[in-house]
Chains A and B, each alone.
Chain A
């Protein structure tokens, strides 16, 4: 079946604008994760969904960042009043069960966000 997909693949925006990044997980996967990767660094955890609920949002850097997963499948990461420091690759991953099930996480190709 299809892997994790993310749209758009690239997004260029201006400082202060609002952006939405979309993630389509593997069909049937309960757990969904968002990570952010800056140049030359490893990915950093942002938020984890178990079904429709955000089980852990401790990685969101501030209240400009928000994510939803209303039907337990597709997720949208929303960034308000973007800043140049938000420029990074935003990665989405999914796994079948989550909840420490010792699972592989399957990553999408990422969305490269550039804030000018």
Chain B
């Protein structure tokens, strides 16, 4: 099973509203990343949050990380129709030897639809 689990699986909102997506994971992580994917291709990196960080902002994006709960959230404020896409969280986890190669484990994603 995949490390990251996104919630909800699908989200439909009106333009201008905020969208919140959640991600839970199971093992200790080096960092957690959020990606956007349009039309089943072309993953675009949105934001990377390190395990010792709690919150990060980038434009209209706000990501939080709670390592005690093994969860993260992505907030998109003032959504636009162009934000319609699938959003994935991906964890860079430590292996049994306590190292990390940066290989990412993705969740199943949240499909966001923003209606004009």
Contact = CB atoms under 8 A, between A and B. Distances in A.
Interface in B23-70: 30-31, 33, 35, 40-45, 48, 50
Contact of A102 (B30, B35, B90, B99): B30
22 contacts: A31-B102, A33-B104, A39-B40, A40-B108, A43-B88, A43-B104, A43-B106, A48-B101, A48-B102, A89-B41, A91-B43, A98-B101, A99-B101, A100-B92, A100-B99, A100-B101, A101-B102, A102-B30, A105-B45, A107-B45, A109-B41, A110-B41
B102 A99 contact: yes
- The size bracket of the interface on B is 20 to 34
B72 to A, nearest CB: 15
A45 interface: yes
- The size bracket of the interface on A is 20 to 34
Closest 9 A/B residue pairs (Cβ): A42-B106, A100-B100, A107-B43, A104-B45, A45-B103, A43-B106, A109-B42, A110-B41, A42-B88
A53 to B, nearest CB: 12
A56 B104 CA distance: 12
B9 to A, nearest CB: 10
Interface of A: 31, 33, 35, 37, 39-45, 48, 50, 55-56, 59, 89, 91, 93, 95, 98-110, 112
